[in-house]
Amino acid sequence: MEYKQLSKKIEEYAAIPRVSGFEKEAVKAFYNDLKKYCDQIKVDKFGNVIGTIKGKNTKAPNLMIFAHLDTIGFVVKNIHDDGFMTLEKIGGVPEKLVQGIPVLVASEKGTYHKGVIGARAYQSMSEAERNSVDPLKTLCADIGVKSAAELKKLGIEVGCPVSYYPVFMELENNRICGTYLDNAVGMVQLLEIAKALKNKKPDATIHLVGTVMEEFNSKGAMIVPRSVDVDMAICLLAPGCNDTPDQKNNSNVKMDNGPCVTITNFHDKSLNGQVVHRGMFEHLIKCSKKEKINIQRCVLRGALSDSAFLQLEKDGIPVMDMGAPDRYSHSPKEVVSLKDIDETIKVLIRYCMDLDAKFDLNRFSI
């Protein structure tokens, strides 16, 4: 796909408000796009979009490739008499970045209202306060109304979702910057893989899935094998780049250096994570050599994806996390390389086409 077309479609998806648990508009948009290329498609009870391209060989493993549709954000927690709103976080929102940012507040009527998370006036703060972070619970969202009654008339109630206001820019060197790029990129990659496979028909059956609730509890993906047959899965979620001055000692992951695979990740609080299935990784390396695409590697601690829970379904599902690494993850403006996005698409198309009945699903063959 041309970089311009990739960029345009990513911008389109990134602009859809889709806070985790409130992804209906994204589900509808993705379903309508994906259905053009699949033999079967459905939305399960949980909200996951599952598009299936039937393989030619029933003995080949069924591969699920998935990306989450949802984003981090907020919900309205408390409405004040003067129309200001206190917010609660949904997912991993970095509190130090939210003061003064523009937001979109959704109503129960389906309308969206522009606003801002207010920041204390510089002149009113002491020197120490100017260099500290005000907790989210001390801040308020302001959409310009004068009373709680005015909010109620608009249909804004406690529990309404609030998202970062969408921003999108094309930077130099085929890099893009915008709001909620991490998952918008994955959605577009799934579409491009579907387009390529529609007429090629691989041996393996491929399920292309847009999952929900990843940012909230990482459990949307684990629902999928309960309604379709999944033998192995690739999660389109890359680790962050570590090529900015503040991150260079954390890993070797760089932008424009190809897709990155998470070899291991571990989340201390949930005592969960995943170690990449060696057979899946080796198959990827073979495919990358055929496509002349570099594969980066990363080890993470303190984070996981929905693969961590998906792998525990059935009698065990082999998993691999990979994708185009981004900068400034979970901030209101992330940066990613169109080259890395395109190379991820190309190597995964090859991955699907070369997957056959000889693939060993076992972690260890003894």
> What pLDDT is stored for residue 151 in this prediction?
98
Q: What is the pLDDT along the chain (366 residues), one digit of tens a residue?
A: 699 999 999 999 999 999 999 999 999 999 999 999 999 999 999 999 999 999 999 999 999 999 999 999 999 999 999 999 999 999 999 999 999 999 999 999 999 999 999 988 888 888 888 888 889 999 999 999 999 999 999 999 999 999 999 999 999 999 999 999 989 999 999 999 999 999 898 999 999 999 999 999 999 999 999 999 999 999 999 889 999 988 877 889 999 999 999 999 999 888 899 999 999 999 999 999 999 999 999 999 888 899 999 999 999 999 999 999 999 999 999 999 999 999 999 999 999 999 999 999 999 988
Q: Are strands 63-68 and 206-211 parallel, antiparallel or unpaired?
A: parallel
CA 259 to chain centre: 15
> What pLDDT is stored for residue 141 in this prediction?
98
> What pLDDT is stored for residue 222 in this prediction?
97
Instruction: Give CA–CA dist 159/96, Å, rounded.
Output: 23
Amino acid at 117: I
In the CATH hierarchy, which fold is given to the domain comprising 73-164? Elongation Factor Tu (Ef-tu); domain 3 (2.40.30)
pTM above the 0.75 mark?
A: yes
- Please choose, from the candidates 13, 328, 344, the residue with its C-alpha nearest in 3D space to the C-alpha of residue 171: 328
> What pLDDT is stored for residue 303 in this prediction?
86
> What pLDDT is stored for residue 257 in this prediction?
97
Instruction: Give CA–CA dist 261/243, Å, rounded.
Output: 16
Hey, where are the domains in the chain?
3-71+180-354, 73-164
286-310 per-position pLDDT tens digit? 999 999 999 999 999 888 899 999 9
Whose structure tokens read 């990134």?
Answer: 14
> What pLDDT is stored for residue 238 in this prediction?
84
- Please choose, from the candidates 306, 179, 204, 221, the residue with its C-alpha nearest in 3D space to the C-alpha of residue 49: 221
Residue 361: count other Cβ atoms within 10 Å of its Cβ: 15
Instruction: Give CA–CA dist 263/319, Å, rounded.
Output: 11
- Name the class of domain 3-71+180-354: alpha beta
Which one-letter DSSP state was computed for residue 19? B
> What pLDDT is stored for residue 246 in this prediction?
87
Residues 4 and 176: beta-carbon distance below 8 Å: no
Question: In a 3-state reduction of DSSP, which class is residue 150?
Answer: helix
> What pLDDT is stored for residue 261 in this prediction?
97
> What pLDDT is stored for residue 279 in this prediction?
97
